Each structure stands twice: as C-alpha cells, then as structure tokens.
C-alpha cells in the first residue's frame, strides 16, 4: 500500500469517526447507538489490524 493510499484511508476513518461523534450528539434513541458504533469504528479496525500484525510477527519469530 502506498503512502498516499494509506493517508486516504486514515482521513476517511477520521471523518467517519468525527461524523459519528457529531451525530451521537444530535440524535436520540436507536440512532444514537448506531452513531456511537460509527464513532468507535477506527478503534475496532485498529485493534483487529494490530492483532493480525502480532500474529504475523509471532509466526516470523517462531520459524
């Protein structure tokens, strides 16, 4: 992945998170929970990616 492509993904996740936070403040009811999930999306993606990279690193060390 090129640096430019990675930057676009980071910006897209940041915008989705900011939009989710703003929508959480403006909405009520079930939409509030959906917007909270949208705001937490970058954390979830980062956690999954970090776990995958740790598994790859552990396999590389053991071989």
Q: Name the residue ranges covered by the structural domains of the chain.
A: 3-62
Q: Quick one: tokens of 40?
A: 């937490």
Which residues lie closer than 8 Å to 31 by C-beta, 6 or more apart?
Answer: 23
> Which pLDDT tens digit goes with each residue over 10-56?
899 889 889 989 998 898 888 888 888 889 988 898 899 999 999 99
Q: Is the pLDDT of residue 1 over 80?
A: no
4 confidence band (pLDDT: 50, 70, 90): confident
Q: What is the pLDDT of residue 54?
A: 92
Q: What is the pLDDT of residue 5?
A: 86
């Amino acid at each position: 992945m090129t640096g430019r492509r990675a930057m676009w993904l980071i910006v897209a996740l940041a915008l989705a998170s900011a939009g989710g936070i703003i929508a959480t403040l403006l909405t009520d009811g079930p939409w509030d929970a959906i917007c909270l999930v949208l705001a937490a999306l970058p954390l979830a993606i980062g956690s999954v990616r970090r776990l995958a990279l740790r598994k790859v690193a552990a396999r590389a060390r053991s071989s």
